[in-house]
Amino acid sequence: MTLLFRKPMLLVWYLAVLVSGCGESGPPLTATGVVAFAPLPGRDFSAAYLTLHNHSQEAITIQHVSSPEFAKVEIHESMTVDDVIRMRRLHSLTLDAGTSAQFVSGGKHLMLIEPVNELAPGKSVTLEFEYNGGAILIVNTQLKTRM
């Protein structure tokens, strides 16, 4: 009896080691340090910052970002031209294999545009990153107060 039970358990454990050992057990794209701000009173846009990590052996291209809480989400990049800070929209963003992309104030950022409902600090929002032709990374966070 004991042997009969032990054999399948050993087999399962062995398979688990194989799966985790091949380096593809986790998602290829993850996000850390997610901060999304509630729009300032009277404004219909806001920003979100985070770091995206490509854990895979291939390039990952983010083709579209969306949120059920906002009409539009755009990837922007701030740059200083002739002492004036300008933002330009990036229509896609590619992360080379094993690299990260930081979204920070004054650099790349997400513009959260036109809230669907009234959005106060503390409300949860979802960000959906569509990449490589159909894969989706879903990130949840709570809106913070803009300082």
String of b and e for 49-72 (b: at least 16 CB within 10 Å)? Answer: bbebbbbbeeebebeebebebbee
State the nearest-atom distance from the C-beta of 70 to Cu ion, in Å.
13
Angle at 46 between CA 40 and CA 51, to 5 degrees: 135
State the nearest-atom distance from the C-beta of 111 to Cu ion, in Å.
4
Which residues 6+ apart lie within 8 Å of 40 measured at CB? 46, 146
State the nearest-atom distance from the C-beta of 13 to Cu ion, in Å.
49
Binding mask 73-112 for Cu ion (x = CB under 5 A): ---x----------x-----------------------x-
Helix (H, G, I), strand (E, B) or coil at 45: strand
C-beta of 111 vs 135, nearer to Cu ion = 111
Binding mask 33-72 for Cu ion (x = CB under 5 A): ----------------------------------------
C-beta of 77 vs 128, nearer to Cu ion = 77
Strands 29-37 and 45-54 turn out to be: antiparallel
C-beta of 28 vs 48, nearer to Cu ion = 48
C-beta of 76 vs 123, nearer to Cu ion = 76
Burial bucket for residue 100 (CB in 10 Å: 0-12, 13-18, 19+): middle
Which residues would be at the binding site for Cu ion (CB under 5 A)? 76, 87, 111
